[in-house]
Homo-oligomer: A and B are copies of this chain.
Amino acid sequence: MLEARVKQAVVLKKLLDAIKELVSDGNLDCTEEGISLQAMDNSHIALVALKLEASEFDEYRCDRNMPLGVNLASLTKILKCAKDTDVVTLKASDDADALNLIFESPKEDRVGEYEMKLMDIDQEHLGIPDTQYDATVSMSSAEFARICRDLAVLGESVKIECSKEGVTFSADGEVGKGSVLLRQNAGQDRSRVKDEDEVDEDEKLDIKPKTKREARRDPDEDDEDGQRSDVDVKPDIEGEDELQDEEEQEEGEERPKKRKAGGKKDKANKRAKKEDVEEPGVSIILERQVSLTFSLKYLTNFAKSAPLAREVTLHMSNDVPLLVQFEFEQGTLQFFLAPKIADE
């Protein structure tokens, strides 16, 4: 038995818009922790991993793990029947061959009940390596989308170079070539480009990811968050909690930073209400310079998630798949893409 309530249908709509062009079918894996979906894209090149946290649902109940095989095009169609502000309740009985979706207007004078047929999908379970990334770039998701769109005009690939200077996206082709340099400008104490020692410290402390994670969730869940991001879409909760505690105990100096992060959360909330104009700054955590080339086709697809989150984080190490991560109120959406090998 699954019963999950989302306050605003628009979140699910944006999610589906974000992934439906990459993945046609997938299992919504429903567990006590929440709902996750993990799938290779249709051409089996990119990996999409979505996690919706149980705690972030308006109401959540899942008695036992159940994979709900959904056709994302069908789900998109049905979600189109909801108004953006509708309250959505997802329901599935334990042996269901259908997912029930209930759309209720805020005034409760309109109730839509939809039933979507489910399918059996062989879950190729994908282990995502727990990578320590050499470079982590946080930036405005809208800016990321813009850059991908812009450079896609010029060529099929983009080279992303991350150094102390900032991050550079460059592409070239028939028409000509172009590059966009983003300097760090987060307007924070860590906004300047760090030198190696400082970087190491930041990496060790894992400040930056935490800041982002904390932006929308309890600090105590940071590491669960981290695992979700870096290890597996279906992590073991107990193990994570332990890891979390360890880290917190090991590094007492994290606490002040955590509070700082808390401050950021408030700021982010305020922004969401009245400062939408203010774009998130660019911040870079660099352990090692990276230079990687990716298919713009995929990146532009990933960038379609921009409406979900103001900020996107690019995690990169040389010769390792890129992780593009969007954290939004209800969870996390990740995309993985292997770099092109040569500068083709």
Task: Enumerate chain A interface residues (CB-CB to B < 8 A).
Answer: 71, 74, 77-78, 80-81, 98, 107-117, 143, 150-151, 153-154, 172, 174-183, 185, 281-282
Query: Chain copies in the assembly?
Result: 2
Residue in B closest to A172 when the chains form the complex, CB atoms = B115
Tell me, rounded to whole Å, the shortest Cβ–Cβ distance linking A6 to chain B: 18
Known: A77-B153, A80-B153. A180 touches B116 (CB 8 A): no
**Closest approach, in angstroms, between the C-beta of A106 and any C-beta of chain B?**
12
Decide: B111 and A175 in contact? CB cutoff 8 A: no
Cα separation A153 to B154 with both chains bound (whole Å): 37
**Chain B: CB-nearest residue to A178:** B114
Question: Can you list 20 A-B contacts (CB < 8 A)?
Answer: A71-B175, A74-B176, A77-B154, A78-B154, A80-B150, A80-B153, A81-B151, A81-B153, A107-B185, A109-B281, A110-B143, A110-B181, A110-B182, A111-B181, A111-B183, A112-B150, A115-B178, A116-B175, A116-B176, A117-B175
Beyond contacts A81-B153, A109-B185: 13 other A-B pairs, Cβ-Cβ < 8 A, are A77-B175, A80-B153, A81-B151, A81-B178, A107-B185, A110-B143, A111-B181, A112-B150, A113-B181, A114-B178, A114-B179, A117-B175, A117-B176
Instruction: Provide the bound-state CA to CA distance between A294 and B151, in Å.
Output: 41
Which B residues touch A98, using CB under 8 A? Answer: 176
**Nearest CB of B to A340, in Å:** 21
Q: Give the complex CA separation of A324 and B182 in angstroms.
A: 42
A200 vs B263: C-alpha distance when bound (angstroms): 63
Determine if A111 and B180 form an interchain contact, defined as CB atoms under 8 angstroms apart: yes
Distance, CA A111 to CA B182, complexed state (A): 7
Q: From A98, which residue of chain B is reached at the shortest CB distance? A: B176
User: Residue A176 contacts which of B78, B175, B177, B183 (CB distance < 8 angstroms)?
Assistant: B78
A178 to B80, alpha carbons, bound, how many Å?
Answer: 12
In the complex, A172→B114 CA distance in Å?
A: 9
Contact of A109 with B183 in the complex, beta carbons under 8 Å: yes
A172 to chain B, nearest CB (A): 8
**Which residues of chain B have C-beta atoms less than 8 A from A179's C-beta?**
112-114
Bound complex: CA A284 to CA B287 (Å) = 68
Q: How far is it, in angstroms, between the C-alpha of A80 and the C-alpha of B150 when the chains are bound?
A: 7
A175 to B153, CA, bound (A): 37
Most buried by B among A109, A110, A114: A114
A179 to B113, CA, bound (A): 5
Which B residues are CB-close (under 8 A) to A110?
143, 180-183
- Say which residue of B78, B81, B111, B175 sits within 8 Å of A78 (CB atoms): B175
User: Bound state CA distance, A116 and B173, in angstroms?
Assistant: 10
> Using Cβ atoms and an 8 Å threshold, which residues of chain B touch A74?
175-176
Bound Cα distance A71, B113 (Å): 42
Instruction: Give the distance to chain B from A186, nearest Cβ to Cβ, in Å.
Output: 10
